[in-house]
């Protein structure tokens, strides 16, 4: 059906009278009408907020700035994460991901991602928790340790939690921004071979403030 204004409607005609036509519209899902052309059978109860269905599979990319202190000064680094997730109808999302981070050494985290959206509106708050293990690629370069060989990193436990806001488009893709806490444990192993073998471990605990910006594709 084509309206006088040129709009195209697709649907099923339920009743065709001499002066009116009753039709169930299937496409488009959202239409704009002039108020002068509308006859209300009952008073309007309000305007419904636009809802977004976040249920289903999604891919997430995020970039974060990590700031904190080491033993000597304030320090900053970047973090990049990529994850796959499934969101249930109640707003709970479960996924798995990996990434790249430049801390005292370069690490690749592998983690489980738990996220919750309490609202189905286009703009919705959300909270997240990530936990897993970070594999490290590098050696300790710090003058405080005087070894004949450089200690090698073994990686360690990672934990991340935070909250933010998500803005979704009509196509369900979204951008988000959030603030969180980031913890990383890194263990360095040092082996010295001589008349006898000795092994030392150096454990570093990193606590960082995270500011995150990301994209969601559904």
Query: What is the model's pLDDT at position 197?
Result: 53
CA distances (Å), origin 15, targets 1, 20, 21, 22, 71: 14, 8, 6, 5, 78
Per-residue pLDDT for 34 more than 50? yes
Per-residue pLDDT tens over the stretch 104-128: 788 999 999 999 999 989 999 999 9
Instruction: Provide the pLDDT confidence category of residue 195 given band limits of 50, 70 and 90.
Output: very low
- Comparing 79 with 20, the larger pLDDT belongs to 79
Q: What residue ranges do the domains of the chain occupy?
A: 1-33, 56-217
**Mean pLDDT value across residues 80-99:** 96
- Count CB neighbours of 111 within 10 A: 21
Of the chain, the percentage scoring pLDDT greater than 90 comes to 44
DSSP bridge pairs for 130? 113, 160
| Minimum mean pLDDT range among 16-30, 91-105, 179-193 | 16-30
Of residues 53, 60, 76, the one with CA closest to residue 164? 60
Distance CA 82, CA 61 (A): 5
Task: Round the CA-based radius of gyration of the chain to a whole number and report it.
Answer: 27
| Minimum mean pLDDT range among 3-12, 34-43, 183-192 | 34-43
DSSP bridge pairs for 51? 121
Residue 104 token pair: 């005292």
Instruction: Provide the pLDDT confidence category of residue 196 given band limits of 50, 70 and 90.
Output: very low
Query: What is the model's pLDDT at position 35?
Result: 64
Q: What is the CATH architecture assignment of 56-217?
A: Beta Barrel (2.40)
- Mean pLDDT estimate for the chain: 81
**Mean pLDDT value across residues 161-188:** 92
Of residues 158, 49, 65, 174, the one with CA closest to residue 117? 174
Q: Tell me the HSE value of 172 on the side-chain side, using a 13 A CA sphere.
A: 13
Per-residue pLDDT for 19 more than 50? yes
Query: What is the model's pLDDT at position 139?
Result: 62
């Amino acid at each position: 059906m084509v309206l006088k204004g040129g709009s195209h409607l697709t649907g099923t005609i339920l009743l065709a009278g001499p002066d009116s036509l009753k039709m169930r519209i299937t496409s488009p899902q959202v239409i704009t009408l002039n108020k002068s052309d509308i006859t209300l059978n009952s008073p309007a109860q309000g305007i419904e907020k636009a809802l977004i269905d976040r249920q289903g599979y999604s891919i997430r990319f995020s970039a974060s700035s990590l700031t904190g202190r080491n033993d000597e000064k304030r320090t900053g680094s970047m973090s990049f994460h990529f994850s796959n997730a499934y969101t249930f109808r109640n707003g709970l999302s479960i996924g798995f991901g990996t990434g790249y981070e430049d801390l005292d050494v370069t690490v690749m985290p592998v983690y489980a991602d738990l996220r919750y959206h309490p609202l189905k509106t286009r703009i919705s708050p959300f909270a997240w928790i990530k936990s897993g293990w970070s594999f490290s690629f590098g050696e300790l370069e710090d003058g405080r340790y005087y070894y004949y060989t450089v200690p090698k990193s073994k990686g360690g436990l990672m934990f991340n939690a935070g909250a933010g806001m998500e803005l979704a488009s009509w196509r369900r893709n979204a951008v988000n921004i959030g603030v969180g806490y980031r913890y990383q444990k890194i263990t360095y192993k040092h082996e010295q071979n001589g008349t006898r073998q000795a092994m030392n471990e150096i454990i570093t605990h990193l606590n960082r403030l995270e500011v995150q910006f990301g994209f969601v594709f559904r």
